[in-house]
Structure formats: structure tokens, C-alpha cells
Amino acid sequence: MKVMVMVKATKDSEAGVMPSEELLNEMGKYNEELVKAGIMLAGEGLHPSSAAKRVHFSGKNRTVIDGPFAETKELIAGFWLWQVKSMEEAVEWVKRCPNPMLEDSDIDIRPVFTVEDFGEAATPEVREREQRLTAEIERYKLDPPRFEQGTAKTIAGLNETYTFETRVNIPTQWERLGRQLGHQPCEVGQASYGVCWNFKPGVGFDYLTGTELTDKGTLPRNFTQVELPAARYAVFTHRGHVSKIPETIEAIWSKWLPNSGHQAAESPSFERYGEEFNAQTGMGGVEIWVALAR
């Protein structure tokens, strides 16, 4: 079952009092436990209601009311969305939560409706629409990234220029590279890379399929090299088929990055195909590395 876990607002949270560094660290560790347990689907803190808008509905009329709102006890300061086995399990997890406020506070747990809860009103058409929406949401679902300090690398291989319409031809480029992999004495490790660089907004980009090399002077004639500078990266695991990588990349850039508080660096971002990647099945061992600005 899904539950929404709501942190009730307090006088301090409505006054904009920020949590201490100690509390932020404690809540961060708690959230990590939720993620590792496979329970947490989403979770965010909310600004005070002074930054909020309320839309009042009366028949066909809509009235917009500016915050702040007086009834503090009816407001929330943050929330989680969890997938749990039962309400009892949710209660046990909430009891493990650090006090999210610097004063006495309350956390409410409420079950989320499923389409089955609506009985006969959930017609086959309603259920089908719900399934389509769920599939669309899942298409853009990302695991939380890890953050790594990447070292400088030289990636060398085959390079092509693409528009956003012609990028469907990238698999053919990988096939051509495959015939040359493992034949360069200067290759580092077993990983291969797909580097997106030389980006031209509204036009296209260059895409290099290659491996890390140590000796820049022994490149085959048809190889291009790209320098990846040392940078801090957000690293995302791509869990689906390799053909779905564009969807993961789109979710990173259009969903995660604008809401993350980070900015992308001008350095190239890349796909890394580790030893676990199975070229026959197109599954496993794929990561998306996005360079972050300092």
C-alpha cells in the first residue's frame, strides 16, 4: 500500500526557522535508510505558507488567496510518499524518524487511494487511463544518484554528429566500434563510454563511442579523442534496456536537474558501460554521468 506521511507545520516552521546542521544530517541518514529499504518513493520539505497560494473553488468561480494562512495546525511543512506492506509498518518507520522540528511536532500517516477503492465508478475506461498515466510516470522514474569526484580521462573512439532526429542511428555507431574494441594496447580497463559533447542548442551534438586510453599517440586514424576534465558528477544507474537510455537522459535533464539545486557544468556528460553490461541482452552495468558546476 502507498501512504503519504505528512510533517505538520509548527510556529517555527511557519516563521521560516531553518533546521540545524545536526538535524539535516540526521534526516539525511534517515532518508537513506528509507531508500535502501525500498520504501521511499518521494519526499520533500515545504516553504512556509507565506510563500504559498490557495485557490478557493465555489461552483465555476476560482479565487486566489495569498499566504500566509492562519491555521498552522492544518498545514504541512514536508511530506514523504512511501510504499509499505501495512499501516503498522509505516507507523514503525515514523517512530524511527528524528523529530523533524526543534519543538514538539506531529507526523500524520494517510493511505493513498487506489483505483480499486472507487468501486463501480472506476469503469474500464477509467482504469485504462490510470494505467497509461502510471506507465508514463514510471517512464521518467529515476533512482537517486550518487555523487563522485571523477578524475581526468582521455576517451578515444568513433565520433559522429547527430541531430535530435538522427540520434536513433547511434546503435549503428556502437556496432562499428565493437569491431575495434580490445585491439588497442593503450586501452584502460573493460569499460566503454558514450560521450555527448560539442552540444549545439536547437541543432544537435557530437557523440563519441570509445574507451579510455593512456597513450594519445597511438590512435587509429579514424579515432577522435575527447578530454574529460576532473569534475564532480551526479551518477545515475540506468536499469532498463539500453534502448531506453534517451528516456533516462531526458528525465535527468528535464526533471531531476531543474529541481536538484545543482547546475550542469560545461564539461561533456557521458554514458559508462561497465563489465556487467551484456551487449547481447542490452541490460546491466550502464551509468549516466552528469558533470556538475562547482
Taking the C-alpha atoms of residue 180 and residue 158, their distance in angstroms, rounded to an integer, is 10
Taking the C-alpha atoms of residue 211 and residue 227, their distance in angstroms, rounded to an integer, is 12
Peptide bond connecting 68 to the previous residue in cis, omega within 30 degrees of 0: yes
Per the structure, the complete domain to which residue 165 belongs is given by 146-292
Tens digits of residue pLDDT in 131-142: 777 666 666 677
Residue 85 sits in the same domain as residue 161: no
* C-alpha cell recorded at residue 118: 472507487
183 in helix, strand or coil?
coil
Q: Is the pLDDT of residue 184 over 60?
A: no
3 state SS for 189-219: CCCEEEEEEEEECCCEEEEEEEEEECCHHHC
The pLDDT of residue 135 is: 66
Helices (H), the chain: 11-14, 21-36, 87-95, 124-139, 170-178, 245-251, 257-260
The pLDDT of residue 81 is: 92
pTM: 0.60
> What are residue 165's DSSP bridge partners?
none
Residue 153 sits in the same domain as residue 241: yes
DSSP 139: H
pLDDT-derived band at 181, boundaries 50, 70, 90: low
pLDDT-derived band at 62, boundaries 50, 70, 90: very high
Count how many domains the chain has: 2
Report the percent of the chain where pLDDT is more than 70: 93
Residue 174 sits in the same domain as residue 103: no
The alpha carbon of 256 is separated from its chain's Cα centroid by a whole number of angstroms, namely 5
For residues 122 and 51, the model is more confident at 51
Average pLDDT, stretch 26-42? 89
By CB neighbour count within 10 A (0-12 exposed, 13-18 middle, 19+ buried), where does 120 fall?
A: exposed
Domain presence at residue 134 = no
The pLDDT of residue 176 is: 86
For residues 209 and 116, the model is more confident at 209
Q: Are 164 and 251 in contact (CB under 8 A)?
A: no
CATH of the domain at 168: 3.20.80.10
Residue 152 sits in the same domain as residue 72: no
Residue 93 sits in the same domain as residue 201: no
Average pLDDT, stretch 122-130? 80
The pLDDT of residue 93 is: 96
Rounded to the nearest integer, the mean pLDDT of the chain is 87
Helices (runs of H) and strands (runs of E) counted in the chain: 7, 14
Residue 178 sits in the same domain as residue 230: yes
List of residues 6+ apart from 160 with CB closer than 8 A: 169, 170, 173, 206, 207
List of residues 6+ apart from 63 with CB closer than 8 A: 55, 56
Long-range contacts of 88-97 (CB under 8 A, 24+ apart): 90/3, 90/5, 93/34, 93/39, 94/5, 96/30, 96/33, 97/30
Domain presence at residue 27 = yes
